[in-house]
């Protein structure tokens, strides 16, 4: 029986919401470990968190590498089934987190979880793109990007609230694994749209093309695809280094006299404040969609200009000297939260840091919706999951490198600055990678037009062939 228009619209919205939540949880799990490094150090008997950073980098690389495989199978077959399998894998792995007793067993759990987490990004992305018309992708994928940033912030906040002692480090991972199990039941009510469902050229056509191995050549010949992968890898070196920010702030606040728990909690909350500016990815995506009606180069233009403009703001945010020693001796969770809110209103340097961080993250968040939307704009429907997986692989390489090399850079800076100031300057160095990234985004203004029109011409030609085939049949 055909569904009514209202039912279909509800199911589309429901499906998009489910996948946005999954993308958020995905980032919660990926970024949460850095928020409890201080607790894991004590629980595992480690002197330094360097090995934990290596495990986090390995997780990022596993997720990035396998997302190509998941994306490829998603471009060939049933995407809902793949998402169900992927979610079962990562939730089943993390449910064993309470049994982890040392760094090696933690490595095993993370590696298995990474196999399943790799599915969520590439397969979920291709489904959402098929639900959203090209002229609205910027705003819709702004929600997608925001869900990931929000997931990072929520993960840090949950970790800060739950982990008050080294022995409790595993609790947030168990919580999100149980939430993941709960999400599995919702899969059975979601839709798997037809590939290219919102492409104007394919209206009234049963588009049955799926990806083939030989199509990788076509994907790599696309100049905009190459720029998407290259800019992603370079930019993610900074984002990977930023996973150390909670640890850095924890050390900073401990030096200012806060208790171990208060320093760790405050470090997570203050680092999470940076994600608030990510909400601007939605209006920025909407603005780019509007600008797209005037010029086809809107997406790379906005991404490049905003990214470059955000660099000085972020440097300023990192280097503003603020002090939270007023919270020394405060121990209760609600007391710490109240103290932080009070400091926002009564500590001008802290308020300045917060306002600048919102502005910086708002600028840097312009990349995400446009980067995601470009993948949909310049790739055929049956290539989008795979291309997202390829881009995610390159991103993961950059992000893993950023997470891995930051301690080495910080060690070198010990010659000039004590801890944790050396880490702050190391993050500033990593931020410089945004300069070539922003420039390469602007280079995309010369490649996006021909690649976009090539996709549209191919879809129009295939639609005519499919209509002719249906008429003859």
Spans of all domains in the chain: 11-191+221-472
Mean pLDDT of 308-323: 89
Predicted confidence (pLDDT) at residue 465 exceeds the cutoff of 50: yes
How far apart are alpha carbons 116 and 111 in whole angstroms? 9
The whole-angstrom separation of Cα 456 and Cα 462 is: 10
State the average pLDDT for the chain.
86
Q: Contact 296/449 with Cβ under 8 angstroms?
A: yes
Higher pLDDT, 241 or 153: 241
Closest to 124 measured CA to CA, from 207, 201, 186: 186
pLDDT for the residue 444? 93
pLDDT number for residue 1:
47
Highest mean pLDDT among 180-184, 303-307, 391-395: 303-307
Q: Is 257 left (phi over 0), alpha (psi -120 to 50) or beta?
A: left
Q: Mean pLDDT over residues 103-120, rounded? A: 89
Find out whether 272 and 153 touch, Cβ atoms under 8 Å.
yes
pLDDT surpassing 60 at residue 78: yes
d(CA 244, CA 33): 10
How many other C-beta atoms lie within 10 A of the C-beta of residue 339? 18
Q: With a cut of 80, say whether residue 306 has pLDDT above it.
A: yes
- Express each pLDDT in 366-381 by its tens digit: 888 888 899 999 999 9
What local confidence, expressed as pLDDT, does residue 52 receive?
Answer: 82
Give the pLDDT of residue 272: 75
Most confident of the following: 51-55, 103-107, 446-450: 446-450
Three-state helix/strand/coil letters over the chain: CCCCHHHHHHHHHHHHHHHHHHHHHHHHHHHHHHHHHHHHHHHHCCCCCHHHHHHHHHHHHHHHHHHHHHHHHHHHCCHHHHHHHHHHHHHHHHCCHHHCCCHHHHHHHHHHHHHHHHHHHHHHHHHHHHHCCHHHHHHHHHHHHHHHHHHHHHHHHHHHHHCCCHHHCCHHHHHHHHHHHHHHHHHCCCCCCCCCCCCHHHCCCCCCCCCCCCHHHHHHHCHHHHHHHHHHHHHHHHHHHHCCHHHHHHHHHHHCCCCHHHHHHHHHHHHHHHHHHHHHHHHHHHHHHHHHCCCCCHHHHHHHHHHHHHHHHHHHHHHCCCCCHHHCCCCCHHHHHHHHHHHHHHCHHHHHHHHHHHHHHHHHCCHHHHHHHHHHHCCCHHHHHHHHHHHHHHHHHHHHHHHHHHHHHHHHHCCCCCCCHHHHHHHHHHHCCHHHHHHHHHHHHHCHHHHHHHHHHHHHHHHHHHHHHHHHC
When pLDDT is cut at 50, 70 and 90, the band that residue 300 belongs to is very high
Closest CA to 221 of 31, 53, 447: 447
pLDDT digits (tens, 9 = 90+) for 399-421: 878 888 888 888 898 888 888 88
Q: What integer pLDDT is reported at residue 3 of this predicted model?
A: 61
For the entire predicted model, the pTM comes to: 0.84
Bond from prior residue into 310 cis (ω within 30 degrees of 0): no
Question: Could you identify the residue written with the tokens 């049956």?
Answer: 382
Lowest-confidence range among 118-127, 146-155, 458-467?
146-155
**CATH class assigned to 11-191+221-472:** mainly alpha
The whole-number pLDDT of residue 473 equals: 56
Average pLDDT score over residue span 170-179: 90
Residue found by looking up tokens 């906005």 in the block:
302
- Give 233-288 pLDDT, tens digit per residue: 998 898 888 878 888 888 889 889 988 888 888 887 888 777 777 788 889 989 99
Write out the two tokens for 78.
């049933």
Q: What is the mean pLDDT of residues 18-39?
A: 81
Average pLDDT score over residue span 151-155? 79
Task: Dump pLDDT digits (tens) for 32-67.
Answer: 887 788 788 888 888 777 788 788 778 878 888 898
Place of tokens 């370079």: 234
| Tokens, residue 406 | 């930051």
Instruction: Measure the CA–CA gap between 462 and 243, rounded to whole angstroms.
Output: 45
Q: Is 328 left (phi over 0), alpha (psi -120 to 50) or beta?
A: beta
């Amino acid at each position: 029986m055909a569904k009514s228009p209202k039912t279909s619209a509800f199911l589309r919205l429901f499906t998009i919401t489910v996948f946005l939540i999954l993308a958020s949880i995905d980032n919660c799990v990926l970024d949460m470990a850095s928020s409890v490094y201080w607790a894991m150090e004590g629980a595992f008997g480690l002197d330094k968190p360097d090995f934990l950073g290596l495990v986090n980098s390995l997780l990022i690389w596993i997720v990035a590498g396998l997302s190509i495989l998941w994306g490829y199978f998603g471009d060939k077959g049933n995407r809902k089934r793949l998402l169900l399998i992927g979610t079962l894998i990562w939730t089943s792995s993390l449910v064993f987190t309470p049994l982890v007793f040392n760094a090696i067993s933690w490595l095993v759990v993370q590696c298995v979880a990474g196999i399943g987490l790799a599915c969520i990004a590439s397969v979920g992305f291709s489904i959402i793109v098929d639900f959203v018309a090209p002229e609205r992708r910027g705003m819709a994928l702004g929600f997608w990007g925001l869900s990931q940033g929000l997931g990072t912030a929520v993960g840090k906040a949950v970790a800060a609230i739950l982990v008050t002692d080294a022995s409790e480090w595993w609790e947030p991972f168990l919580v999100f694994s149980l939430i993941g199990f709960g999400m599995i039941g919702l899969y059975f009510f979601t839709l798997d749209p037809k590939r290219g469902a919102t492409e104007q050229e394919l209206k009234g056509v049963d588009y049955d093309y799926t990806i083939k191995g030989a199509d990788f050549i076509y994907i790599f010949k696309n100049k905009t695809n190459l720029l998407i992968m290259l800019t992603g890898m370079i930019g993610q070196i900074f984002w990977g280094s930023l996973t150390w920010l909670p640890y850095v702030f924890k050390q900073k606040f401990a030096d200012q006299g806060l208790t171990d728990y208060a320093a760790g909690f405050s470090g997570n909350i203050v680092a999470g404040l940076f994600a608030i500016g990510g909400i601007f990815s939605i209006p920025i995506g909407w603005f780019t969609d509007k600008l797209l009606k005037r010029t086809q180069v809107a997406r790379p233009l906005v991404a490049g200009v905003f990214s470059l403009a955000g660099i000085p703001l972020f440097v300023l945010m990192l280097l503003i000297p603020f002090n939270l020693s007023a919270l020394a001796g405060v121990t209760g969770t609600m007391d710490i939260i109240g103290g932080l809110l009070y400091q926002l209103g009564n500590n001008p340097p802290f308020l300045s840091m917060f306002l600048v961080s919102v502005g910086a993250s708002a600028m840097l968040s312009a990349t995400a919706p446009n980067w995601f939307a470009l993948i949909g704009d310049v790739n055929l429907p049956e290539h989008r999951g795979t291309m997202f997986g390829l881009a995610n692989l390159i991103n993961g390489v950059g992000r893993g490198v950023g997470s891995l090399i930051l301690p080495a850079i910080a060690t070198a800076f010990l010659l000039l600055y004590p801890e944790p100031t050396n880490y702050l300057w190391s993050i500033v160095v990593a931020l410089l990678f945004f300069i070539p990234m922003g420039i390469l985004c602007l280079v995309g203004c010369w490649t996006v037009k021909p690649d976009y029109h090539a996709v549209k011409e191919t879809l129009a030609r295939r639609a005519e062939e499919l209509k002719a085939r249906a008429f003859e049949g």
